[in-house]
Amino acid sequence: MPKYDFPQDLRDAQLALHETRAACEQYAKTLPWSAEPMPGWEGDKQLHSSYRSHKEDSPGYTEDQAAEVTRFHARLLDLSITVSTHPFWESVEAGDRVGARMALKHAHEPAEDEA
């Protein structure tokens, strides 16, 4: 894989995007399954299986939870725009931009020879 000389602000924005996405996913695991209050349900038993799908009633998100989700989504959008529209991409040949983008996603990881 070719090496790219990513500017530090682009590397920082990409790392912040990774960290924010991970934090958002962790936060989402603590939330009710539905943003709006919804009744639970239980599915029928499936043939050749003892598994029955079900969901408990969802109280919906509180105002604070909804606001936090909105903040996460706004931050993710802002960071995505920062990364994808960074002037660095204009210095990469059009046919190599996908490879460079993939390399940036892993730029924060230690190099294989360093690990």
Quick: pLDDT tens for 9-18. 999 999 999 9
* Res 33: pLDDT: 95
Q: What distances in angstroms separate CA 110 from CA 2, 107, 114, one per listed residue?
A: 15, 8, 6
pTM: predicted TM-score of the whole model, two decimal places: 0.83
Q: Which residues contact 90 (CB under 8 A, 6 or more apart)?
A: none
Instruction: Give the pLDDT confidence of 24-52 residue by residue, as tens digits.
Output: 999 999 999 999 999 998 888 777 877 77
Return the residue matching tokens 């709006």.
36
Picking from 83, 81, 92, 76, the residue whose alpha carbon sits closest to that of residue 19 is: 76
